[in-house]
Amino acid sequence: MAYDEGLAELLRGDLADIAGIDEKRMFGGLAFMLNGNMLCGVHKGGGMFRVGKDNAAGALTIEGARPMQFTGRKMGGMIDLTEQAMADDARRGRCMALAMDFVAPMPAK
C-alpha cells in the first residue's frame, strides 16, 4: 500500500456525511471524488487537496501545506499537506473547506 490507511480513515470520517463521495485508487494513492470530480486524497507521505487556483495562496498559508508536484511539475490549484498537518483536525479542515468551496459547484461527471 503506497499511502497511509490511517490518513485515509481521517478523510473518510471528514466526508462520511457528504453525498456523492466515491473513492478511487490513483497514482499509487487514494483519491476522494465528489460527484466524479477529484476533491482530495492521500499518498505516501501525506495528502492532497484540490483547492483551485483562486484558493491556492490562502491554502499555502496553512502550516504544512506546499504546492503539489507530480513527476517534478507543479500542479496548479492542488496543494500537498504533510502527514503531521493531515493529522491536525484544524489544518486538514481548513484545506477541506477550501477544496469543497472549489469542487462542490462543479457539474457532476
Instruction: Tell me how far apart the alpha carbons of residues 71 and 14 are, in angstroms, rounded to a whole number.
Output: 28
**Where do the structural domains in the chain lie, given as residue ranges?**
5-87
Taking a C-beta distance cutoff of 8 angstroms, is the pair 5, 12 a contact?
A: no
pLDDT at 1 over 70: no
pTM confidence score:
0.93
Instruction: Tell me how far apart the alpha carbons of residues 6 and 81 are, in angstroms, rounded to a whole number.
Output: 15
Encode pLDDT of 84-104 as tens digits: 999 999 999 999 999 999 999
pLDDT at 6 over 80: yes
